[in-house]
Amino acid sequence: MGNAPSSRMPALTKVTPNEFDEKTKMPRELKELDISLSGLRITVPLSSSGQLTLDHVSSWETAAACDPKAQLARTVLSHSDIRSALTSRSARVFDQHVFNNVIDFKTGPVTNQKSSGRCWLFATTNVLRYNIMKKFRLKEFELSQVSQYFCCVMALIDINFRTVLSLLLGQAQQS
C-alpha cells in the first residue's frame, strides 16, 4: 500500500469485431496461436522398457534445433520474462484495470509489519489513522499495533480456553 495518488490511465483500446472470433469466443490472435500449436506433433520415442534415455533427449534436442518455431520460442524466452513473452496483447487491452478515483491519502510514512504476519492489523490501523488525522486535523498520529495485537491474542486465548473447558466439562459429565 503506497500513499502516491493513482494517475489517469490512457484510453482503452477495444477489441474490434474483426479481431474477435464469434465461434470460439476468443480474440483472433489467440485463435491463430491455437491453430499454429495444433499442428505440433508430440511423439513419445521411449524405449520398449519405457525408460527415458540420453539418446531420446538428444533426438528431441536435434528436432527442436531444426524447427524454426522452436528456435524463435527459445530466442524469445532466453531474452525476456516468460510471463511477458506469453501474455497476449489483445487480452491485456481487453482486461485493463482502470482506477478513476484519486484518494487524498497522505498519512506520512506507512508502517512496516516486517514478517510478523499481521498485515491485516497494519492495513486497518493505517486506514483508521488516516480518518483520525483528517477528523482532528492532526499532522502526525500513530496507532499502536502492538496493543491491538495483544488484545487479539488474548481474545484467541479466551476462545481456546473456553473450548477446552467445555470439552473437559462435557467429558466429566459423561463419566
CB-CB contact of 110 with 2 (8 Å): yes
122-131 pLDDT tens trace: 888 888 888 8
pLDDT at position 24 is 58
* Best-predicted range by mean pLDDT (62-66, 76-80, 142-146): 62-66
Q: Decide if pLDDT at 95 tops 50.
A: yes
What is the value of pTM for the model shown? 0.33
Q: Where would I find the H helices in 25-88? A: 28-38, 54-66, 68-79, 82-85
- What is the rounded CA–CA span in Å between residue 92 and residue 15? 11
Query: In the chain, what are the domain boundaries?
Result: 17-94, 119-174
36-45, 75-84, 147-156: which range is least confident on average? 36-45
What is the helix, strand, coil percentage profile of the chain, to 5? 55, 0, 40
